[in-house]
Amino acid sequence: MTEKIKKTIALGCTAVLINVVFSTRLIAATSSVFVCEYESREDGRTRSKIQVKATGLPRGSYYVQVLAGGNMPVKSKPKKTNGRLALEFEFDSNSDDAILEGKTEIPPNFTQGGFANGVIRKAKTNGQVKVFRSTQCRIQQQ
């Protein structure tokens, strides 16, 4: 191999390594909580709730996308952080609560299967920051 090719390969490997290290730090610095609830009431009504909290995200705008059962994914509105504040995203099937408290509305039976998945994404690039797979929902009988 010529010196030029060796240097090009070395630079390419360095760029990949830097990218991997940066990506790992981004995810490692992020602390998050994913809570899923499903309520089944005696009168037959149901309610679904999902809450996602994230801290340690770098400055920027983020949104959360959730998926449960055979439902279509639901996406929150983007929220901004300055890098120090925690972000909280809430999804609720009670339309009164969702509208009054700035939550994202989901169908009442959204979490009825007992499991939910979610992804925190960067708003501009849609890049994944944190993935929550098959989180078991807390089921309440009322």
pLDDT, tens digit (0-9, with 9 covering 90-100), for 10-38: 433 333 322 333 333 344 446 888 888 88
Domain with residue 97: its CATH number is 2.60.40
Question: Does residue 21 sit within a domain?
Answer: no
Question: Does residue 23 sit within a domain?
Answer: no
Number of domains composing the chain = 1
- Please give the Cα distance from 129 to 71 (Å, whole number): 22
Edge-to-edge order in the sheet of strand 138-141:
104-105, 87-92, 46-55, 31-40, 138-141
> What is the residue range of 105's domain?
32-141
Residue-level pLDDT at 118: 93
> What would the pLDDT profile of 122-138 be if each residue is shown by its tens digit?
999 999 998 988 778 88
Question: Does residue 17 sit within a domain?
Answer: no
